[in-house]
Structure 1
Amino acid sequence: MPETYQFVKRLPNDIGGLQADAVQQTDHVLLPWEKRCHALADVLDFHKIINTEEKRRGVEALGADLVGKLSYYERWIVAFANILFEKRILSPTDLALKMDEVAARPRD
């Protein structure tokens, strides 16, 4: 590795070239919430609220520990929330109130 590598920090999802087990490819049917998350990403991008580059930066900003603990779409959701907080489009209080409202809905 070049000497200058010490000056560059790997981002959490930058795993290229590292030792790892073989990739196990499996078919994965998306759960309904994962489909909604993907649709949300498309809507945010279409309306120029959060673009792909911002989403990538948002996921990288989570840090290696959190990236390692969250699933693929969980990373997206946390990144979206943080970016919307930064842009003052959404507040943590508003999000918490909405989450409480959804949790209180009757389930069939």
Structure 2
Amino acid sequence: MTADFVSRLPNDLGGAEAGPVARVDHELAPWEKRCHALADVLDFKKIINTEEKRKGVEALGADLIAKLPYYERWIVAFANILFAKGLLTPTELAGKMAEVEARTAAE
């Protein structure tokens, strides 16, 4: 068990007991598509690359990774990376989220 803790990252589940995997194709929600597009833009603009994204998700830790759906992990990782790079502040993010929420509520 200790060897697994040391040798496995939180999202490395290969070979571990996890029960059956639901293999269901589903249409991505609009916000998931936007999240994926954001990842592409961040990579294209050389702001966050794929390796940084992977490390950002792993840095969330096993508990949070287990609780968050796939694209929510990405969003939290992106925010943390942008905070660490000084490109975004929590206050700026909260303000933008409130703006989007108000716009959505008005529609």
TM-score of the two chains, using structure 2 as the length reference: 0.90
Structure 2 match to 1:86: 84
* Pairs within 5 Å for 1:46-85: 46-85=44-83
Tell me how far 1:18 sits from its aligned partner: 1.0
Structure 1 unaligned segments of length 5 or more: list them.
Answer: none
Coordinate RMSD, CA, aligned: 1.9
SS of residue in 2 equivalent to 1:38: helix
Structure 2 match to 1:36: 34
- The structure 1 segments of at least 4 consecutive aligned residues displaced by more than 3 Å after TM superposition are none
Distance 1:104 1:58, change over 3 A: same
Structure 1 match to 2:95: 97
Q: What code does the residue aligned with 1:46 have?
A: F
Tell me how far 1:102 sits from its aligned partner: 1.3
Provide the rounded CA distance (Å) in 1 between the counterparts of 2:45 and 2:39: 10
Tell me how far 1:19 sits from its aligned partner: 1.4
Structure 2 unaligned segments of length 5 or more: list them.
Answer: none
SS of residue in 1 equivalent to 2:83: helix
Structure 1 match to 2:6: 8
Tell me how far 1:103 sits from its aligned partner: 1.5
TM-score of the two chains, using structure 1 as the length reference: 0.89
Identity %: 73
Q: Whose helix fraction is larger, Structure 1's or Structure 2's?
A: 2
